[in-house]
Amino acid sequence: MSVAINEKLRVAVIVSSVREGRIGPKVADWFLGVAEGLGDGMEFEVVDLAEVDLPLAMPGWGSAPSERAKAALAEVSPRLAAADAFVVVTPEYNHSFPAALKNLIDWHREEWQAKPVGFVSYGGLGGGLRAVEQLRLVFAELHGVTMRDSVSLHGPWSGLGADGAPLDPAVSEGAAKGMLGQLDWWARTLRSARAERPYGV
């Protein structure tokens, strides 16, 4: 199977927060506006976890998922499998990331393997960086490749406008551009490698 090097990359943008009153979708909209203005080499699809009804109870080894789980997986799993790369938009909750995101990750395995993962985080003075550092460990276990640089939005209640855009956009947009450049390189490199030689673990 061959893949044209200039073929558009499919990037799944995962909105991780499911909390009432969340700002995650607005942060994702801001990021998409920046990303789509940087060129036409990527196609973005939003995967909003508030719309993914995956149960917390997972089946035992060798057991089939529940009907509810099957329905949710039938909707979300093909979208993850089709993606060449991921961007995770995550808040920081209690020095970590949302349970809904961990649940999505744990319901899947092959979908993450040998694919790049970028991060857009937000929250408090730390800008969500502690959540990102923990996510790096999780995706490493699943053979995902996390980007060295990330987008960190500090103080979402004071540093972001009502539309979710940073009040001082220069630094944030520069960070997004840098992260997307890395994501583009890794996504094209790994997509070509997977096409030439399927990844096995």
Domain ranges of the chain: 9-57+66-196
**Among residues 146, 119, 136, 108, which one has the least CA distance to residue 15?**
119
Instruction: Kindly tell me if the per-residue pLDDT of 35 is higher than 90.
Output: yes
Predicted model pTM = 0.93
Number of H helices, E strands in the chain: 5, 6
Predicted pLDDT of residue 170: 84
The domain made up of 9-57+66-196 is a member of CATH 3.30.70.2740 = no
Bridge partners (DSSP) of residue 122 are 91, 153
Summarize the confidence of residues 153-169 as an average pLDDT: 73
Cβ–Cβ < 8 Å for 30, 171: no
